[in-house]
Structure formats: C-alpha cells, structure tokens
A and B are shown apart, each in its own frame.
Chain A
Amino acid sequence: MDRTVIGKQYPAPETYEVGREHIRQFADAIGDDSPLYRDPAAARAAGHRDVVAPPTFLHALGFRFREPNPLTDPAVGVDYSRIVHGEQGFDAHRPVYAGDVLTMVTTITDIRDAGKNELLVTETSIADQDGEPVATLTATLVSRGTAASKEDQ
C-alpha cells in the first residue's frame, strides 16, 4: 500500500438516517431480543428517547458508504481479496437512537508492516445532525503477504 495516503480523509457523501426497522433487523441478525432495540415505549421507560442501536451497529455505515472509502481508493492500492479484519474498536460518546441523522468521516491513521503483512489502520468519526460526536470507530485491517521484502526497506 502507498504510505503517502496516511492522513487522507474520506467523508461520507450523504448523511445516514438511523431507522427503527434497521435497528430491529440488525438486532434480529445478531440474535438479541432486547426490547430496547424494538419497542420505543420500553426504550423511553429506560430513559432513552427512542429505540437504541446495538453496540456494533455503526459498523454497517461503512458498507452503506463504499465510495469514497480507503478500501476502494485506487490511491491506497488495497487488494481486497488479501484483506482480513484484524481489530475493531468502538467508543460511544452517547447511545445511537432511531431518528439520528449521522455524518461520517474515515481517516487513514497508519499503514505499516507487521512481518509479511501490512496493517491499514483507520479511524471513523461519527457525529449527529447538531455536529455533536456520537462515536469513534477504529479498525485495523490486515493485508496478507503484501509487506515489502527486507531488501526493499
């Protein structure tokens, strides 16, 4: 991968509106039957303003906005068939609710060798319609076998 892209930012071209039915569908898919993901009244009784999204829900926004994205950016030069997910982190500044209208910016924070592999590290900042931070996602993607050989370094 081209290291000169470290620091490059990829703002999502549109906002993402979190829907109750998408939260329900995601909760069904992860087998979690909590009423806080489905029933607005139950969510309000627990002190929330609407149904809450599960902890890893925001990762799906990356698939909603494939362009522009580090993985599809020719300047980065990722071979997607060699990519495996190494690490993932979420830091929530507040819960995500149905009705949130979110913006997203992904930044390439590092590209480095790890043995024969390369690591692509990204940070994604998600904010709401008022510009207030909602969550920060960090991802380390492993590009298998693409590190430069020793004599090239």
Chain B
Amino acid sequence: MSSVPTLDEVEVGLDLPELIVTLTRLDLVKYAGASGDFNVIHWSQRLATAVGLPGVIAHGMLTMAVAARVVTQWVGDPGCLEHYSVRFSAPVPVPDDDRGIAITLRARVEQKQADGRVVVAVTAALPDGTAVLSGARAVVRLS
C-alpha cells in the first residue's frame, strides 16, 4: 500500500478499488470523541427523533472521511491529496444493532492534468442505492 501510483499508470476512466465500510453506533461514538462533534443527533435516538429525524444518523464528516479512504488507500500516501470536496445529499441512518449500515464507496479517475494533478470522482451509496454524497471530488498530485 506504500507504492504510490505514477502518473503514467493512471488513465481517465480508471476505476479505483471499491471499498465497503460498515458503520455502527459504536463507530459514531468513536467519531464523536475523535472529532469533538457531540451533536445529539449522532448518538441519542430520543433527541434525534425529537427534531424530526428517523433516528440516529452518522456525522456527515464521518461519511466524508471514510469516502476519502477509497482515494487515499489507492494512492497510498494521504499527503498527495490536495483537494477534497463533497455535497451531503442524504443522511446515513445508523441502526441500533450489531450489523450497522454498509456504505459502498467507488471512485473513478475523471481528469488527468499535465501538471500531475489527477481529479477523482467519488460516490457513496447506501444498500438501497441512495447516494449520500454528490459531486464529491478529490484531487491528488502524482509524479
């Protein structure tokens, strides 16, 4: 995983290795602690439903972080990442069970620039196909 792909090895249209990440309530608690985001909608069923949500939902920033892994694990060195942006298009409901919810992450090379920058489009989908990110793009710099 430490071998960074060279620019020559990358073609527009290349599909990066798919990643499936399962999030459980425990993962939300861990992310709350690591990020400092203790918003109640990410850990209290009672308070999440009180504000009109179907239940506890994942932090958008946790979804964004796990989606970045599809790019950084491919490129090997997270220091190559120059830009990363997403729109949050749907919430990720996380059930109070042992199975959690699986998010399927895919990414495809969209542009290859002469200066070594590679633009990658990233998608994140729930098991029913709902896209939870839209317009997600990462830019990595390769040599």
A residues near B (Cβ < 8 Å) are: 22, 25-26, 28-32, 34-37, 42, 45-48, 52, 54-56, 59-60, 63-64, 81, 84-92, 95, 138
Q: Which residues of B contact A31 (CB under 8 A)?
A: 21, 27, 66, 69
Could you jot down 30 A-B contacts, CB within 8 Å? A26-B34, A28-B30, A29-B27, A29-B30, A29-B35, A30-B31, A30-B34, A30-B65, A30-B66, A31-B66, A32-B65, A46-B2, A48-B79, A52-B79, A55-B65, A55-B81, A60-B36, A60-B37, A63-B36, A63-B38, A64-B36, A85-B88, A86-B87, A86-B88, A87-B86, A88-B61, A88-B88, A89-B83, A92-B82, A95-B78
Chain B 53-91 interface mask (CB, 8 Å, partner A; 1/0): 000000011101110110011000111011111111000
- Judge if B114 is at the interface, Cβ distance under 8 Å: no
Q: Are A63 and B83 in contact (CB under 8 A)?
A: no
A34 to B71 CA separation, bound complex (whole angstroms): 12
Name the one of B65, B77, B87 contacting A36, with C-beta atoms under 8 angstroms.
Answer: B77
Q: Which residues of A contact B83 (CB under 8 A)?
A: 89-92
Q: Are B86 and A29 in contact (CB under 8 A)?
A: no
Q: Which residues of A contact B68 (CB under 8 A)?
A: 54-56
- Judge if B33 is at the interface, Cβ distance under 8 Å: yes
Known: A34-B78, A54-B65, A63-B37. Is A87-B30 also a contact (CB below 8 A)? no
Q: Which residues of B contact A30 (CB under 8 A)?
A: 31, 34, 62, 65-66, 69
B residues near A (Cβ < 8 Å) are: 1-2, 21, 27, 30-31, 33-38, 51, 60-62, 64-66, 68-69, 72-73, 77-79, 81-88, 138
Q: Which residues of B contact A95 (CB under 8 A)?
A: 78-79
Q: Are A54 and B77 in contact (CB under 8 A)?
A: no
A64 to B73 CA separation, bound complex (whole angstroms): 28
* Chain A: CB-nearest residue to B39: A80
Q: Are A55 and B88 in contact (CB under 8 A)?
A: no
* Chain B: CB-nearest residue to A56: B65
CB distance from A91 to the nearest CB of B (A): 5
Q: Are A90 and B79 in contact (CB under 8 A)?
A: no
Q: Are A34 and B1 in contact (CB under 8 A)?
A: yes
